[in-house]
Amino acid sequence: MTLSRVLVSMLVLFVLGFGLFSIPNGEASTPWPKKDGVVCFEVRDAGGTTLGAYKLSVSREKGNYYHVNFEVISEDGNLLNLGFGTARVVDDKVYMTVVNSGKNDVAMYTGTSHMVLDRATLNGVAESIGHDRNYHDLSIDTEYEIVYLYYIPSSCND
């Protein structure tokens, strides 16, 4: 899996975590959680191919700010990496910035992602940029990727 796919997957999990919070001012019901919780997202590329999932643990801070811890899960169910970040609800959007890292037999990677979710559906877009250190050819590569996040209404597997 490329660094960008890993970063996108991590971003998706982060975004999913926000789905458990309700809108703080009591507006109409949305998938946004009313209290701390766990939310999940399916991550897809521009062609609609599923890349994996994000699983987020979200904690409410002061105001409309949230702390997020997340994991990126591959399509075959393996843990790819871990990350953390911050989210903020503004009007009809949820904005998040997350960082993550992980490694496999090929490379060690790290990345930063920016996500924007629709507050009503929690679906959205994640843009990621990251670096990986290839263990075989010793190269250090930079990658950029856009992925699409789709809220999974059912609870995540623990």
Question: Considering the entire predicted model, what is its pTM?
Answer: 0.76
Could you give the domains of the chain?
A: 3-152 (2.40.128.30)
CB 124 within 8 A of CB 53: no
CB 120 within 8 A of CB 129: no
| Structure token digits, residue 120 | 């009503």
What is the tens place of the pLDDT at every residue in 104-130?
A: 999 999 999 999 999 989 999 999 999
What is the tens place of the pLDDT at every residue in 52-108?
A: 899 888 898 888 899 999 998 888 888 889 999 999 989 999 999 999 999 999 999
Q: Which residues contact 150 (CB under 8 A, 6 or more apart)?
A: 41, 42, 43, 44, 123
What is the reported pLDDT for 6?
46
| Cα Rg, the chain, nearest whole Å | 15
Range 91-120 burial, b when 16+ CB lie within 10 A, else e? eeebbbebbbbbeeeebbbbbbbebebbbe
Give the count of beta carbons closer than 10 Å to the beta carbon of residue 22: 17
Give the count of beta carbons closer than 10 Å to the beta carbon of residue 39: 29
Separation between Cα atoms, residue 25 and residue 133, nearest integer Å:
45
